[in-house]
Amino acid sequence: MAEPILELTDLRKSFGALKATDGVSLTLLPGEIHALIGPNGAGKSTLIKQIVGEIRPDSGTVRFMGQGIDALDVAARARLGLARSFQVSQVIPDFTVLQNVMLAVMGAQGRVFRFLRPALRDPGLTEPAAQHLEAAGLAGREGVKAAALSHGERRKLEIAMALALQPRAFLLDEPMAGMGLEGAQQLTTLLSDLRAKAPILLVEHDMDAVFALADRISVLVYGRLIATGTVAEIRANPEVQRSYLGEEA
C-alpha cells in the first residue's frame, strides 16, 4: 500500500472529564478523499485542530509526509503543505478575485513587495494565480470584486487560494455548508477533481456529497472511531446505522 500522506496514531485529547479525542488512528492516502463523519459534538473539529497544530493532543502522534510534526506550530505545518480551508477565511472583499489569489501566491512564495500596486502586475504572481482560478472553476471572474461573488463562487475562491499553497493535503471543514443544491453539485465535481492534486480529509454533514465523493469514510462517535471503510461498507455497517446514519442511509 502507498505510504500515507497523513498518519494519526492513537491521538487523545480531553477537556476536563470529556474525552473529545479518544484514541484515534487514521491515515490519508495519496489521491484519496477520506471523509470524517459523525454527529454534532463527536470531536471532528477537535481532531482537525490537532492535525493543523491549533490544539496539542494529550498523547499520540501526527505524521505528515513521513515526518513527525508534533513539535511544529500552525504556520510551519502550513508551510509543509497542510492546507485547511473553509473555516478561517482570509478573503479580502474589496480586492478582485485575481488579486486575492495573487496575495495568496505572494504569501506562499514568501515574497515581500515594497509597493502593492506594481506587485499586482507581476507575471510571477498573475500567471500562477490565473492557473489556480482556472483549476477552481473561476476562469472569467478574475476582475470581479470578491465581495460580489455568490456563496458558491466564494468557496471556489477559497479553493484557488488554498491551491496557491501548493498543498500536499487538504483539510476541508464542511465545504458544503450553506450551499444550495446546484452549488453543492458543482462543488462536488470540483472536489472530486481536486483529489488528483492532493488528498482530502473531508469533514462533512452533507451525506449526498460524502457518498458521492469519499473513497473511504471514517465515523467518529464520542471521540472514538467506530468504523473506517468504503461507502458500501459504511452504509452496511449496523453500528454506524445505529449511531449516526439512521434513516439517512
Q: Which residues are bridge partners to 28 per DSSP? A: 6
Write down the least CB distance from residue 49 to ligand ATP, Å: 8
Strand 67-68 versus strand 59-64 pairing type: antiparallel
Residue 22 C-alpha from the chain's centroid: 22
Contact indicator for 229, 236 with CB cutoff of 8 Å: no
Sign of the torsion formed by the C-alpha atoms of 191, 194, 195 and 201: negative
Write down the least CB distance from residue 66 to ligand ATP, Å: 27
Sign of the torsion formed by the C-alpha atoms of 190, 195, 198 and 199: positive
Write down the least CB distance from residue 10 to ligand ATP, Å: 18
Interface positions with ligand ATP (CB under 6 A)? 15, 18, 20, 38, 40-46
Question: What whole-number distance in Å separates Cα of residue 211 and Cα of residue 234?
Answer: 10
In the bound state with ligand ATP, the residue whose beta carbon lies nearer, of 18 and 116, is 18
In the bound state with ligand ATP, the residue whose beta carbon lies nearer, of 41 and 68, is 41
In the bound state with ligand ATP, the residue whose beta carbon lies nearer, of 18 and 249, is 18
Write down the least CB distance from residue 42 to ligand ATP, Å: 4
Write down the least CB distance from residue 25 to ligand ATP, Å: 17
Cell of 218: 471514517
In the bound state with ligand ATP, the residue whose beta carbon lies nearer, of 42 and 149, is 42
In the bound state with ligand ATP, the residue whose beta carbon lies nearer, of 197 and 205, is 205
The one-character DSSP state at 137 is T
